[in-house]
Amino acid sequence: IREPALAGRHVVISAGGTREPLDPVRFLGNRSSGKQGYALARTAAARGARVTLVSANPQLPDPAGVDVVPVGTAKELREAVVKAATDADAVVMAAAVADFRPASYATGKIKKKDGQEPEPVALVRNPDILAEIAAARPRPGQLVVGFAAETDDVLVNGRAKLARKGCDLLVVNEVGEAKTFGAEENEAVVLGADGSETPVPNGPKEALADTVWDLVAARLVS
């Protein structure tokens, strides 16, 4: 078990990417592989934590000794995270949650019609689960960690997002063409609401996960 340990702690991690259905066969999704969230789950379990992994559409095997809750949509992810968070010491939102979902769902497959242009797809906002958990803090002293992918002004945008979401730590990484999504490695800066700034050099997703748990463990009181 790596130090500092998380023995006796309950941690909730969201991983993967949500899928918002348009009809029975189509969805709006994203390229999140779930690898970072799964690395967080494995490393937390190795430190002795009880781990709930709310997992949105990954193509990955269940990590040993982890309670995996499979979900599809942002709404399902929200329900599962809110439920698991009630007694959690830390909630880490590593999932890529769709910001928008189709305003309506067609119960039958949407068909193309001869000579007709397709209907535009209307979207509505999904709830911001990270901001909601950070505002609610169902357990006193609970730590809330978010992830942010930024393409420019990474630190400035990261600080603004940390404040907007109200979380304790925000893992910010710079995304480009081949960077981060689906990759085996990750490079990031972990920003703290206390003003801290912890750079994590490019390396395995487990290394970033271990840094997150070091920072979480250091901030958990009693």
Give yes or no for residue 143 binding ligand C5P (CB under 6 A): no
The three-point CA angle 204-208-213 to 5° equals 135
Q: Is 130 in the site for ligand C5P (CB under 6 A)?
A: yes
Structure token digits, residue 16: 């993967």
**Rounded CA gap, 59 and 61, in Å?**
7
Q: Is 169 annotated as a binding residue?
A: no
148 binds ligand C5P (CB under 6 A): yes
Q: Binding site annotation covers 128? A: yes
Contact letters for ligand C5P, residues 161-200 (x by CB under 6 A) = ----------------------------------------
* Coil vs helix vs strand at 203: strand
Applying CB under 6 A, among 82, 147, 172, 217 the residue interacting with ligand C5P is 147
Q: Which of 12, 40, 54, 93 touches ligand C5P (CB under 6 A)?
A: 93
**Contact call for residue 97 and ligand C5P (CB under 6 A):** yes
The CB-of-98 to ligand C5P minimum distance in angstroms stands at: 7
Q: Is 37 in the site for ligand C5P (CB under 6 A)?
A: no
Q: Would you say 147 is a known binding-site residue? A: yes
Q: Give the Cα separation of 33 and 180 in Å (integer).
A: 9
Q: Cα–Cα distances in Å, from 126 out to 29, 75, 105, 200?
A: 13, 8, 15, 31
Residue 165 labeled ligand binder: yes
Rounded to whole angstroms, how far apart are CA atoms 199 and 215? 12
Contact 128, 18 (CB under 8 A): no
Q: How many CB atoms lie within 10 A of CB 24?
A: 12
Determine if residue 113 is labeled as part of a ligand binding site. Answer: no
Give the nearest distance from C-beta 21 to ligand C5P in angstroms: 16
* Catalytic (active site) residue 30: yes
Closest CA to 189 of 150, 221, 216: 150
Contact (CB, 8 A) for 57 and 15 = no
Does the annotation list 75 as a binding residue?
no
Among 20, 89, 128, 210, binds ligand C5P (CB under 6 A): 128
2, 210 Cβ separation under 8 angstroms: yes
d(CA 210, CA 83): 25
Q: Interaction with ligand C5P in 4-23: which residues (CB under 6 A)?
A: 14
Nearer to ligand C5P, 97 or 143 (CB): 97
Name the binding residues for CTP.
99, 109, 127-130, 147, 161, 165
Catalytic residues: 30
Q: For binding to ligand C5P (CB under 6 A), which residues are involved?
A: 14, 74, 93, 95, 97, 99, 126, 128-130, 146-148
